[in-house]
Amino acid sequence: MSAPEVVQVPQFRFEGLMIQRIIVHRIYTKVAGKEPLDPKTSNHLVKLAQPAIDALQLRITKALGNKSHGIEMSIHDVTAESFFQTAASMLHADEASFIKTSKELAINLHKAQLTTNTPGGMLAIIAGRVGDDALPFIAAIKAETQDGFKANEKDDQVDMEYIAELLLTDTQRFYKIGLLTEHISKPAGAEGYQAGNYRSFLFDHLMTATETRPAAAYFYRVFLGMDIQASSKKLTEDFFEYTRDFIKTAPLDDNAKLDLHEALRTELRSQEATISAGGFGAKHLPAELRKEYEDYMTAKGFPANAINKDTDYIHAKLRKRRRFVFTNGVWISTPPEKTDDFLQIEPADDAGITVVKIKGAFQEQQ
């Protein structure tokens, strides 16, 4: 069965995320020379107090939301045993079916990890509603455990209690989230559920690091059956062109605009795997222009979520400007392309005077 073309809606908001069901299974670490242990699966839903539910809802919203590195993905695998078909069947399932099917996902993640050295951890399968239209979602969270200490206060003493396994702390980096949400509700047909009626998202701390896209592939490609959107090259080009146009017309002096143009090229040349309008604005734009910039990008139809960065279409435009520095502190900056056509520098004479010929008329002083 081949995956149908996914029709993407321009924006998605994760605010208002509400958790309705949680079940947790343990995935064991593979030990060299020993037979892999099957997952330890649960038979009952997790019951959490409301403060704990609120904290978990906030973790997921922050990870996948518009100011984060959450990435919208394409649904790659739509076969009968895929995460997509399995998760789609769970969206409207009763409790018994939800629990049973979640165990299948734990087994699938276990199998996906067998060819890697990935540590074990906990797999939480979460169902709920999300976004302005309270759309149903299924999220799979793979979290590695940490240890830590808990403070216990008594009348005349403060003690510490050691906790061997902590999950999803506010500062924890080692977790991954795959989320599937239904934006058009239709029953499964002869070939199962149709990917065009769903949207899929990924958060992975490895996707935001400098070295790492292949390291996360077992989770998003093998287990989730998702892939980086085919439009990443075009979206990256759009980000560059739209941001450059905004900078040109921004109410800033020429030196500030020059700095922002260089910051834009630097961000796109960096080793970070993702980029977003919100992230660029917060890092580089004056506070008074950030909302205007984000509104401008939204009006252009650019996603509010982070996108996977692929600079193939704009590679030549991202090269650094060349700078020629002279002994008296004077420097000349030129565009990165075709410098020899723009500028000719003759060797200095005995008096230390250098003749510079520029193919172009003087325009302004900055």
Could you report the per-residue pLDDT of 91-116, keeping only the tens digit for each? 999 999 999 999 999 999 999 988 88
Q: What average pLDDT does this structure show over 119-141?
A: 90
Range of weakest confidence among 146-160, 172-186, 270-284, 285-299: 146-160
Instruction: Give me the residue label for tokens 């509603």.
Output: 129
Place 11 in a pLDDT band, splitting at 50, 70 and 90. Answer: low
Is the model more confident about 5 or about 232? 232
Place 5 in a pLDDT band, splitting at 50, 70 and 90. Answer: very low
pLDDT for res 2: 42
pLDDT for res 52: 87
Distance between CA atoms of 24 and 40, rounded to whole angstroms?
A: 9
Residues recorded for the chain: 366
**Residue 3 pLDDT > 50:** no
pLDDT for res 7: 38
Q: What average pLDDT does this structure show over 288-309?
A: 87
pLDDT for res 352: 84
Q: Name the token pair of 148.
A: 């830590």
**Residue 188 pLDDT > 50:** yes
Give the pairing of strands 18-27 and 71-75. unpaired
Q: What is the model's pTM?
A: 0.64
Nearest to 274 by CA among 74, 77, 76, 72: 72
Q: What average pLDDT does this structure show over 249-271?
A: 88
pLDDT for res 93: 95
Q: Strand, coil or helix: what is 178?
A: strand
Q: Name the token pair of 34.
A: 């020993």
Place 281 in a pLDDT band, splitting at 50, 70 and 90. Answer: very high
Place 202 in a pLDDT band, splitting at 50, 70 and 90. Answer: confident
**Residue 355 pLDDT > 70:** yes
Beta strands in the chain (DSSP E): 18-27, 71-75, 121-130, 135-143, 146-153, 158-166, 175-182, 198-204, 226-228, 274-275, 307-308, 322-325, 331-334, 343-345, 356-358
**Positive/negative CA dihedral, 81, 84, 85, 86:** positive
Range of weakest confidence among 127-131, 188-192, 327-331: 327-331
Q: What value does the mean pLDDT of the chain take?
A: 81
pLDDT for res 165: 52
Q: What average pLDDT does this structure show over 190-205?
A: 86
Q: What is the CA radius of gyration of the chain?
A: 26
Nearest to 66 by CA among 276, 310, 207: 276
Nearest to 332 by CA among 317, 346, 320, 321: 321
Instruction: Give me the residue label for tokens 């991202």.
Output: 318
**Residue 15 pLDDT > 60:** yes
Give the angle 164-168-169 at the CA atoms, nearest 5°. Answer: 80
pLDDT > 70 in the chain, percent: 81
**Residue 229 pLDDT > 50:** yes
